[in-house]
């Protein structure tokens, strides 16, 4: 299983617009991905309810994982996405 950690950079965290953009990126990747906030349970990264319910705020560290073929490159792109402020 491929796993990466990322620090949330968007000022409002993974809420509303940044969460929707992240989910769009996950869906565009075409592989199953889970996301976990430190101390939490993994949720499907393509679930708006799951992602927003994590309550990930700016500066929080999350872990994204996938066991699909080609996951390494996809996770690298998703880390870059999460570590960019999409509220700027």
Give tens-digit pLDDT for 1-40.
Answer: 999 999 999 999 998 899 999 999 999 999 999 999 999 9
Q: Which residues are tagged catalytic?
A: 15
Q: Show the DSSP H helices in the chain as ranges.
A: 17-29, 48-53, 71-82
Domain coordinates in residue numbering, the chain: 2-82
Q: Is the pTM of this model over 0.75?
A: yes
Which residue in this structure is represented by tokens 């953009």?
A: 21
The CATH code that applies to domain 2-82 is 3.30.1340.10
Between CA 70 and CA 72 the distance in angstroms is: 6
**Maximum Cα interatomic distance, the chain, rounded to a whole number of Å:** 33
């Amino acid at each position: 299983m491929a796993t990466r950690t990322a620090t949330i950079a968007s000022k409002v965290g993974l809420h509303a617009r940044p969460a929707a953009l992240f989910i769009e990126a996950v869906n565009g990747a075409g592989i199953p991905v889970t996301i976990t906030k430190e101390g939490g349970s993994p949720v499907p990264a393509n679930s708006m309810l799951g992602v927003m319910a994590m309550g990930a705020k700016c500066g929080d560290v999350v872990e994204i994982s996938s066991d699909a073929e080609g996951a390494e490159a996809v996770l690298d792109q998703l880390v870059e996405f999460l570590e960019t402020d999409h509220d700027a």
